[in-house]
Amino acid sequence: MVDFWNELFLFVSQNATPHLGALAFRAPSTRIHTGPVNPAEPPAAEPSRKIKRKVCMLGTFAVGKTSLIRRYVRGVFDEKYLTTMGAKVDKKNVRVADVGVDLLLWDLNGEDRFQALSMEYARGAAGYLLVIDRTRPATLEAAHALQQKVLHAVGPLPFIVLVNKSDLPGHWDRQPGDLDALRAGGWVFVETSARTGTGVDEAFMSLASRLID
Ligand SMILES: Nc1nc2c(ncn2[C@@H]2O[C@H](COP(=O)(O)OP(=O)(O)O)[C@@H](O)[C@H]2O)c(=O)[nH]1
Ligand SMILES: [Mg+2]
């Protein structure tokens, strides 16, 4: 009996009968396919691998490094910090394609004296976020100097430039020329606001996606 209905269904289907018409000929309890009728969604795939990556916040004082991390990590259950060598480390787990990435976000405690003194901070980093303050053009020069310093201390690493405080009015006289020249040299800029959250996830993810081997 089942074979009869199967054959009838296949016959009707193969003869280009509209889909609904074909369904009308199906016996209610007849299974046409051997697999499940409504295959379940595939289970949420586990990451195929998990990696940890050290990421440093770089930029001169008060550009918003600490505020950006706070904004990015706040509310995340799996949040940790430790204090070492004058640095604070927050952790954030993200997913890049099928890779689970633990971002270990290094930020300097308090003032930036340490950053000025030593690049020990950047050792072992996979990449960094270079933060500038869009209301203070001098922070771009400071960022450029830091970038050169990291380049010499630990070699070329992926980095993203966060043009922070995008919520504030004001612009740079020398923009966009300054940034265009740097863009041409491969710098990637993301406008962010630690205050409103604009661009923050995007900036961190943009870096994270560059840290996968
Ligand atoms: N309006 C505004 N203020 C910000 C933003 N990010 C940081 N700030 C302020 O800038 C000051 C320095 O921020 P902080 O995160 O301590 O800078 P850091 O020295 O680079 O760590 C603080 O008063 C922050 O509240 C932002 O996106 N918008
Ligand atoms: Mg800070």
Residue 30 confidence (pLDDT) above 50:
no
Lowest mean pLDDT among 38-47, 88-97, 156-165: 38-47
CA-to-CA dists, residue 212 to 47, 49, 72, 123, angstroms: 13, 11, 20, 18
Edge-to-edge strands, sheet with 127-133: 81-84, 87-96, 99-108, 49-58, 127-133, 159-164, 189-191
Indicate if ligand 1 lies below 6 Å from the C-beta of 199.
Answer: no
Nearest Cα residue to atom 3 of ligand 1: 165
**CB 193 near ligand 1, within 6 Å:** yes
Ligand nearest to the CA of 69: 1
Check residues 111 and 70 and name the one with the higher pLDDT: 70
Which contiguous run of DSSP H or E holds residue 141? helix 138-154
Give the pLDDT score at 184: 87
Residue 174 is predicted with a pLDDT of 53
pLDDT in the model for residue 173: 54
Percent pLDDT > 90 in the chain is 42
Q: Which residues of the chain are in CATH 3.40.50.300 domains?
A: 49-209
CATH placement of domain 49-209: 3.40.50.300
Classified as helix, coil or strand, 58 is strand
pLDDT for position 110: 57
Q: Which atom of ligand 1 is nearest to the CA of 166?
A: 27
Atom of ligand 1 nearest to the CA of 192: 27
Mean pLDDT for 72-97 is: 71
Query: In the predicted model, what is the mean pLDDT of residues 180-186?
Result: 87
The reported pLDDT for the residue numbered 95 is 95
- Give the model's pLDDT for residue 33: 42
So what's the pLDDT on residue 118?
67
The alpha carbon of 59 and the centre of ligand 2 are apart by a number of angstroms equal to 9
Res. 12 pLDDT band, cuts 50 70 90: very low
Give the pLDDT of residue 10: 37
Question: 86-133, pLDDT tens digit by residue?
Answer: 778 999 999 999 999 999 999 986 555 545 556 788 899 999 999 999
Average pLDDT over residues 132-137: 91
The C-alpha atoms of residue 25 and residue 35 are separated, in whole angstroms, by 20
